A and B are shown apart, each in its own frame.
Chain A
Amino acid sequence: MGNGTSIGRVRGLGSAHTGAHHWLLQRFTAVGNLVTLIFLIVSLLTLPNLSYATVSGWIGQPIPAVMMALLVLTTFWHARIGLQVLVEDYVNDSGSRFGVMLALNLAWIGGTVFGLFCIARLALVPVATGGAA
């Protein structure tokens, strides 16, 4: 960005050519959130009770386990995109913004992996007696 000509003052301030991808991902993951969260809400409302045995037995089954794994992926991805927009709007200092985006990306990956690991364990390993029956 230069100071001289009119074109020089605005060059580089236009489209980054990646916004549409970001925008579309926010829509795709929104639909993912809708489908997986409706599955979770209907499941919670229709389970006979919310005891440990009932819930861990439910989530260990193939379809609930896959739906919950997809829920973790899609909600964390959507949240990461949404929080990035928040950071870009309100964190103006570029150094701070770098630090916050670094923390956000680490939390995003960390949270996703933790959630997927918990579901995999519930689906594949009998945790305790009366657990994943």
Chain B
Amino acid sequence: MGGIATHHTGQNMANRPLSPHLQIWKWGPHMLVSILHRVSGDGMAIVGLGVLLWWLGALASGPEAYETFHSVMTTPIGYLVLIGLTWAFFTHLCSGLRHFVLDTGAGYELDANKMWSIASVVGGVVLTVAFWAAIFLL
């Protein structure tokens, strides 16, 4: 450690090491769950809220508009969008609950962090499958 004198010279400030970016790190579950949280959240914000407003607008407009919404959403692409949104929701839900735990200062030990990162991703997939099984089978 350089001590106070070197810290205050402009030259050293300019040459200080920068934090390496994504490509240098070995990928781990905690990185996957972090980027999935952002992707699923922003995906829902843009696509999911659009679908929500279409659904509410169709309901408020009457049976014909609702029928249009219903027929588009039951095409293969419609199902793909809806299944993608439910996956995004359950994944964001699980990783969001993980964030609440991390907010308390718990769960940063390497093993626990890795375990709950994996559990968040797996939990999102399991809940998505359970939801659509309930839709189709019940």
The answer to whether A115 and B52 touch (CB under 8 A), given A27-B103, A41-B131, A121-B60, is yes
Which of B41, B53, B59, B63 lies in contact with A82, CB distance below 8 A? B41
Tell me the B residues contacting A by CB distance below 8 Å.
8, 38, 41-42, 44-46, 49, 52-53, 56-57, 59-63, 66-67, 70, 89, 93, 96, 100, 103, 131, 134-135, 138
Q: Across the two chains, which residue of chain A brings its CB closest to B96?
A: A30
What's the Cα separation between A17 and B50 when bound, in Å? 33
Q: Determine the main DSSP class of A at the interface with B.
A: helix
What's the Cα separation between A52 and B88 when bound, in Å? 26
Q: How far is the CB of B103 from chain A (nearest CB, A)?
A: 7
Q: Across the two chains, which residue of chain B brings its CB closest to A5?
A: B8
Q: How far is the CB of B34 from chain A (nearest CB, A)?
A: 13
Q: In this assembly, does A37 line the interface, its C-beta being within 8 Å of a C-beta of chain B?
A: yes
Question: In the bound complex, do residue B49 and residue A75 qualify as a contact, i.e. CB atoms below 8 Å apart?
Answer: yes
* Interchain residue pairs A-B with the least CB separation, the first 6: A79-B45, A118-B60, A118-B56, A52-B66, A52-B63, A121-B60
Q: Across the two chains, which residue of chain A brings its CB closest to B63?
A: A52
What's the Cα separation between A109 and B93 when bound, in Å? 24
Q: In this assembly, does A13 line the interface, its C-beta being within 8 Å of a C-beta of chain B?
A: no
Q: Across the two chains, which residue of chain B brings its CB closest to A83?
A: B45
Give the size category of A's interface with B: 20 to 34
Residues in B whose Cβ lies below 8 Å from that of A130: 63
The answer to whether A79 and B44 touch (CB under 8 A), given A27-B100, A52-B63, A59-B59, is yes
Tell me the A residues contacting B by CB distance below 8 Å.
6, 27, 30, 34, 37, 41, 45, 50, 52, 55-56, 59, 68, 72, 75-76, 79, 82-83, 86, 111, 114-115, 117-119, 121-122, 127-128, 130-131
Question: In the bound complex, do residue A115 and residue B56 qualify as a contact, i.e. CB atoms below 8 Å apart?
Answer: yes
What's the Cα separation between A45 and B138 when bound, in Å? 8
Which of B42, B46, B53, B100 lies in contact with A114, CB distance below 8 A? B53
Which of A6, A83, A122 lies in contact with B60, CB distance below 8 A? A122
Question: In the bound complex, do residue B53 and residue A131 qualify as a contact, i.e. CB atoms below 8 Å apart?
Answer: no
Question: In the bound complex, do residue B56 and residue A119 qualify as a contact, i.e. CB atoms below 8 Å apart?
Answer: yes
Question: In the bound complex, do residue A79 and residue B60 qualify as a contact, i.e. CB atoms below 8 Å apart?
Answer: no
Residues in A whose Cβ lies below 8 Å from that of B100: 27, 30
Question: In the bound complex, do residue B41 and residue A34 qualify as a contact, i.e. CB atoms below 8 Å apart?
Answer: no
Question: In the bound complex, do residue A127 and residue B45 qualify as a contact, i.e. CB atoms below 8 Å apart?
Answer: no
Residues in A whose Cβ lies below 8 Å from that of B63: 52, 128, 130-131
